[in-house]
Amino acid sequence: MNNKAKIEVSNEYLYVLYKAKNTLWHFINQLEKRSFDYNAVKFKDEKGIYVWLETVKYENNFFSGILPENNGKKNVSADGVIDWMLVEKGRLIGGYTIRFYRDSLSDEEKINFDIDFGLRIDNGNDFFKPDLSTPEGALISLENFYTEHSLEGALSCKDFYKEAINVLLETGKDVEEKLIQETAELLKLAFIENLQDNGMPNFKNVERVFNRIIYNKEEKKQLIEEKLIYDNGEEQINKFWISENEEKKWKILDLVE
């Protein structure tokens, strides 16, 4: 693995690191389940240079593996890992900093990069934990509950009160408590009625790629774009406002048309 590619730090790059950190659990989980054609983690060495550690194993919050520069053995704390990658049937999984660097290249440079790299680099698949600890995980949780036909589970991923505030602000109406409560109840009833009339969508075997469009730290909400890649090759892109509540849980608000 080439450890010499330079990357410019930006908000987009910081989101890439965020995605790598919050999907590291999947890398560990896969290492413990089966073997891959190639695996590696990226960390900062003693010289302050980010390098890859290959053919790693995981135990007690540490990765052990081989440094490609000198074939030396190395142990690295999982807390110090900024990226991970797997190769399965010639396909790159993870490798967020690699993808970010590739996206910065011109079309001609990308062709040369792909030839040198020798792997298939497609949309990817973001394996956030399906829980409410991240906005992306909240979306996955909602979609999993849809697939399981669990109305109660789907409702647990929503925040109709804050969605009501969003809707009222967008329509230019006064945000008064009584109106918020009434709107929230109407949104909840409409949500339930829509699922009962049209059924719940199925997200089985779907792959996902997330992108953060807006992060409003003051209001603790984010606009997240989700690209869905179905097993038949079809793609769908949706954008959702997602808000963090007082319990540090992220809940889905409204779909942005």
Question: Which pLDDT tens digit goes with each residue over 163-197?
Answer: 999 999 888 877 899 999 999 999 999 999 999 99
pLDDT one-digit tens code per residue, 204-248 = 999 999 999 999 999 999 999 999 999 999 999 999 999 999 999
Report whether pLDDT(9) > 90.
no
Asked if 213 and 224 touch (Cβ cutoff 8 Å), the reply is yes
Asked if 245 and 159 touch (Cβ cutoff 8 Å), the reply is yes
Kindly report the backbone phi and psi dihedral angles of residue 147, in degrees, each rounded to the nearest multiple of 5, phi listed first. -60, -35
pLDDT, mean of residues 28-41: 90
Kindly report the backbone phi and psi dihedral angles of residue 4, in degrees, each rounded to the nearest multiple of 5, phi listed first. -105, 0
Report whether pLDDT(4) > 70.
no
The separation between the first and the last C-alpha atoms of the chain, rounded to the nearest angstrom, is 41
Torsion of CA 16, 31, 86, 24, to 10 degrees: 0
Say what the pLDDT of residue 240 is: 97
Q: Is 230 helix (H, G, I), strand (E, B) or coil?
A: coil
Asked if 223 and 214 touch (Cβ cutoff 8 Å), the reply is yes
Q: Is 140 helix (H, G, I), strand (E, B) or coil?
A: helix
Say what the pLDDT of residue 257 is: 81
Q: Is 68 helix (H, G, I), strand (E, B) or coil?
A: coil
Say what the pLDDT of residue 236 is: 96
pLDDT, mean of residues 6-19: 87
Say what the pLDDT of residue 5 is: 56
The whole model's pTM is what?
Answer: 0.92
Report whether pLDDT(2) > 70.
no
Cα angle 245, 227, 195 (rounded to 5 degrees) comes to 65
pLDDT, mean of residues 243-255: 96
pLDDT, mean of residues 121-137: 97
Say what the pLDDT of residue 35 is: 77
pLDDT one-digit tens code per residue, 38-95 = 999 999 999 999 999 999 999 999 999 999 989 999 999 999 999 999 999 999 999 9
Report whether pLDDT(106) > 80.
yes
Asked if 227 and 208 touch (Cβ cutoff 8 Å), the reply is yes
Report whether pLDDT(34) > 80.
no
pLDDT, mean of residues 7-18: 88
Beta bridge partners of 222: 215, 242
